[in-house]
Amino acid sequence: MDAITATIGTLTRGKPRWLEGGIRWFLFACALLSIATTGAIIFILLKETVVFFTMPLEQVLDPSDTGTRVSVVEFFTGTRWAPILVPQSFGILPLVCGTLLVMVGSALISLPFGLASAIFLSEYASSRLRAVVKPVLEILAGVPTVVYGYFALTFITPVLQTLLNPLLTSLFGPHAGVQVFNAASAAIVVGIMTLPMVTSLCDDAFRAVPDALRQGGFAMGATKYEVATQVLLPAALSGVLASFILALSRAIGETMAVTLAAGGSPKLTLNPFTSVETMTAYIVQISLGDTPAGSIEYQTIFAVGAVLFGITLVLNVIAHKVVRRFREAYE
Amino acid sequence: MRTSTAGQQPRMQASPALRRRHLQGRVFAVVCGVATFVGVVMLAVLLLDVVMDSTGWIWSRVDRDPRMFALLQETDAAFAERAAEIDPGLLTGMQRKLDARRGRAARNNETLSDAQLADIRMDYLHGKYSNDETYFERFEMQPTTGQRLAVAGGIIGDVFANFPSRHPSKAGIKSAIFGSFWLLLLTALIAIPIGIAAAVYLEEYAAKNRLNRFIEVNIANLAGVPSIVYGILGLAVFVRGMQLGRVVLAGALTMTLLILPVIIIAAREAIKAVPDSIRQGAFALGGTRWEVVRHHVLPVAMPGMLTGVILAMSRAIGETAPMIMIGALSYVAFVPQGPLDDFTVLPIQIYNWVAMPNQEFHLLAACGIFILLGVLLLMNSAAIYIRHRAQRNIRW
């Protein structure tokens, strides 16, 4: 094609050539915008995080003390997160703990169910059933997250309370019931939300496996189960793992559903039936509140945002690497 | 063809081991099938929950709506007479409230209009009967179905026509609807040209060098960045950096950055699907690269790109977190008139209502979700329709 363009370039015509070049540069600028976006995200998160760590604390016990700052070590290892209480405390672990609790819980739903339904759709379902189920799952993926939050709060939490409260209170005492805001409900709803993504990506991975491999398995006398688990799964492993990692990354970055369902009390706990706060929920809480811009409480959203961005970026990069590393190329 | 299921194979000697393997296979099939249907059932439950809640809210309001009363009783006097028979306390309480308002009005040298008086009366009734029993139970009346439907229609109309309010019965989504519309319009105007241009560059112009590969990887990574991080970016760059403030334009620019990767990826797929013979033919006739793109590649790829664009827009209309970050307000009692006005959007309004402790606001939120899902369904159907039509028309 380049040879053709070169030839065309030598032809002279009535139209100005600079327009062609201009258009090319304009299109290139539009493509560069994506790099500018990434650059801007990283620059702003870094800059504001540095401001956060170099800012003097306002609410210290001794008013003459203006030199106390949040230390990086305290930020990453502290077990109390209370930026708007006195005394202030900036240990991000409770937020990370809440995020991980929701992430692990959602993974317990989205990964097995997503994988199983992908196997069903690509290996067992008739093409007609597929034609119905796949769009339905796509609709499920397109529902706004605030709707899932409503669903968690008004449906899943009451159901959990009805089902589990008698058991929990008889085991652990009268205060052990499911709270109105709880991590379990958030995890379930995020699991439902990420399930279609896992299904769709795994399904694509399975369908990319050449049919000859399946036929070979069947010819050896393998049952469908054996072909699925011992031929397909290893062959499609890269796609399956990548979909898992992307689901985890999506669960970490999920905001509105967990804000509504999990509540806003940062806690270092593994109990899924109490209220926790995730990193995203904290950012929303501060930006909805009346914290003055420029104060250290306000700067925390950039520091927490930087941690959030870092974790999801690492997961996304790993997912891309996994696709390349474990890819079994069939041509 | 992969239809040779284990069950269809001719049965030779079924050894215990073979039978176990087949049983294993059947159990596995059932497990996978069940997992799929759990997903589908979840969607059904979610939709049903929203529909039941929103209609439940409308019907419960029909049963206690003051206008229903007006339909049944011609005049307030007749109502007062009837009410006095059943509940004398009702009238004295209402009278006290009216007197208080009249007194305040007299001090300020103003007269209360009939409408204002009626409003006070209705407010009082609402407070008294909003939760436990309905007017009809109270006064043992049986409204007809037609009357109920008429009021239900009026209530739905009210939800569209009202601004946010502290009273669930007076709250509506007018400013949110207009805000979402403005946001979507501006986002589309900015994001679609840029997104398609970037896709055209990457597919038609870009040489295979390191910079362009980096751009591609970068776009894939941007698609995975949590939306709230875009909110932080928009807050820092557009709201504070460029001093735009918390206006529609800042929201649209933020949303543009958020959906650009989605549009670019979809548009690239559509351009990739254009057969190379079309390009070759156009080049052979002496077209420049831009002429080839403009007159041949883009028209053919248009339906595919349009589908991707609509799906990206339907993502934009449902995004909440970034809009909260850039400070789209939840209480906006006016319709935004231009790109530099404050605004709120539908999902924020819904979030706000869900976050309220009051049950009535939850049901109102269901009403908002119902409308939001309706819009999304329309957009998705449009995308599917366009895709379908394009597939039918293409012949090469």
Any domain includes A73:
no
Of all residues in chain A, the percent with pLDDT exceeding 70 is 91
| Cβ density class B212-234: b for 16+ within 10 Å, e for less | beebbebbbbbbbbbbbbbbbbb
**A305: domain CATH number?**
1.10.3720.10
Residue matched to tokens 């207009």? B178
Does any domain span residue A62? no
CB contact under 8 A, A218 and B4: yes
The verdict on residue A331 lying in a domain is no
**A47 and A116 part of one domain:** no
Mean pLDDT of chain B: 81
Which of B28, B193, B288 lies closest to A8 in CB terms? B288
DSSP-derived secondary structure letter, A57: P
Checking if the pLDDT of B1 tops 50, the result is: no
Give the per-residue pLDDT at A67. 64
What residues are paired with A69 via a beta bridge? A56
Beta bridge partners of B342: B247
On whether both A178 and A309 belong to a single domain, the answer is yes
Q: How far, in Å, are A31, A93, A259 from residue B217 at the CA level? A: 12, 31, 31
Q: What is the pLDDT of residue A278?
A: 94
* Residue A2 pLDDT: 58
Looking at per-residue pLDDT, the higher value among B149 and B202 belongs to B202
* Residue listed under structure tokens 């875009």: B230
Residue A301 half-sphere exposure toward CB, CA atoms < 13 A: 26
Per the omega criterion (within 30 degrees of 0), is the bond before A87 cis?
Answer: yes
| Cα gap A250→B229, rounded to integer Å | 12
**DSSP per-residue letters across A235-302:** HTHHHHHHHHHHHHHHHHH--HHHHHHH-S-------TTS----HHHHHHHHHHTTPPTTSHHHHHHH
User: How confident is the model at residue A112, as a pLDDT?
Assistant: 95
In a domain, A166, yes or no: yes
Q: Are residues A308 and A208 in the same domain?
A: yes
A4 inside domain: no
Both A47 and A128 in one domain: the answer is no
pTM of the model: 0.84
Structure-derived torsion over alpha carbons of residues B31, B35, B36, B39, reported in degrees to the nearest 10: 170
Contact B362, B272 (CB under 8 A): no
Average pLDDT over residues B115-131: 59
Judge: B319–A143 Cβ closer than 8 Å, yes or no. no
Give yes or no: residues A155 and A204 share one domain: yes
Instruction: Give the Cα separation of B151 and B164 in Å (integer).
Output: 20
Flag whether A77 is in a domain: no
pLDDT the model gives residue B2? 47
What number is the average pLDDT over the span B66-80? 55
Quick one: A96 and A26 in the same domain?
A: no
User: Which of B32, B233, B324 is the closest to A120 by Cβ?
Assistant: B32
Could you give the number of structural domains in chain A? 2
Nearest C-alpha neighbor of A103 from the set A265, A251, A313: A251
Dump pLDDT digits (tens) for A235-286: 999 899 999 999 999 999 999 999 999 988 888 888 889 899 999 999 999 8
Q: Among A7, A20, A24, A37, pick the best mutation site for testing chain B contact (most B Cβ within 10 A).
A: A37
Residue B73 pLDDT: 46
pLDDT tens for residues B179-192?
999 999 999 999 99
Mean pLDDT of A164-183: 84
Question: Which of A119, A143, A218 lies at the smallest CB-CB distance from B32?
Answer: A119
Tokens at residue B201, please? 């560059």
Give the separation between CA A227 and CA B91, rounded to whole angstroms: 78
Share of chain B above pLDDT 90, in %: 35
Nearest by CB to A313, from B42, B221, B324: name it.
B221
Nearest one of B213, B291, B208, B276 to A1, comparing CA atoms: B276
Confidence (pLDDT) at A138 = 79
Q: Does residue B39 sit at the A interface (CB-CB below 8 Å)?
A: yes
Residue B141 pLDDT greater than 80, yes or no: no
More confident residue, B359 or A94: A94
> Is the pLDDT at B196 greater than 50, yes or no?
yes
Q: A237 and A180 in one domain?
A: yes
Residue A12 scores a pLDDT above 60: no
Residue B396 has what pLDDT?
Answer: 53
Residue A49 lies in a domain: yes
Whole-number percent of chain A with pLDDT over 90:
51
Is the confidence at residue B323, as pLDDT, over 60?
yes
Interface of B with A in 153-212 (CB under 8 A): 193-195, 197-198, 200-202, 205-206, 212
CB-CB under 8 Å, B320 with A255: yes
Give me the mean pLDDT over the B214-222 stretch. 90
* A19 in the same domain as A142: no
**Average pLDDT for residues B131-138, to the nearest whole number?**
53
Q: Which of B25, B288, B315 sits opposite A224 (nearest CB)?
A: B25
The chain-wide mean pLDDT, for chain A, equals 86
- Is residue B279 pLDDT above 90, yes or no? yes
Cβ-based contacts under 8 A for chains A and B? 281
Residue A274's Cβ-count burial label (10 Å; 0-12, 13-18, 19+) is buried
Q: Report whether pLDDT(B137) > 80.
A: no
Question: Which band of pLDDT confidence, cut at 50, 70 and 90, is reported for residue B218?
Answer: very high
Answer yes or no: do A125 and A175 share one domain: yes
> What does the pLDDT look like over A96-142, one tens digit per residue?
999 999 999 999 999 999 999 999 999 898 989 888 888 888 778 88
Q: Do residues A100 and A50 share a domain?
A: no
Residue B380 to residue B374: CA distance in whole angstroms: 10
CB contact under 8 A, B222 and A149: no
pLDDT tens-digit series, residues B4-37: 454 555 555 678 888 899 999 999 999 999 999 8
Structure tokens, A13:
């015509």
What number is the average pLDDT over the span A142-167? 91
- Helix B227-234 crosses helix B248-272 at what angle (to 10 degrees)? 130
Question: Does A24 share its domain with A154?
Answer: no
User: Residue B241: pLDDT above 70?
Assistant: yes
**What is the distance between the alpha carbons of residues A53 and B197, in angstroms, rounded to a whole number?**
40
Interface probe, candidates B3, B15, B23, B46, chain A, greatest A C-beta count within 10 A: B46
Looking at CA atoms only, how far is residue A64 from chain B in angstroms? 32
Asked, for residue A309, whether it belongs to a domain, the answer is: yes
d(CA B140, CA B74): 17
In the numeric block, the tokens 């529902």 are attached to A143
Give the one of B50, B283, B327 whose C-beta lies nearest to A4's C-beta: B283
Among the ranges A46-55, A174-183, B142-151, which has the highest mean pLDDT value? A46-55
pLDDT digits (tens, 9 = 90+) for B32-67: 999 998 888 988 898 898 888 888 878 777 766 656
Query: What are the tens digits of pLDDT across the range B86-120?
Result: 566 666 666 777 777 777 777 776 666 665 666 66
pLDDT digits (tens, 9 = 90+) for A193-204: 999 999 999 998
- Residue A290 is part of which domain span? 89-326
Q: Which of B283, B354, B377 to mutate to test the interface with A (most CBs of A within 10 A)?
A: B354
Give the pLDDT of residue B74. 43
Cα separation of A154 and B353, whole Å?
12
The answer to whether the Cβ–Cβ distance between A112 and B35 falls below 8 Å is yes
Domain identity same for A137 and A40: no
Nearest residue of A to residue B193 by CA position? Answer: A30
**pLDDT of residue B139 exceeding 70:** no
Residue of B nearest to A154 (CA): B362
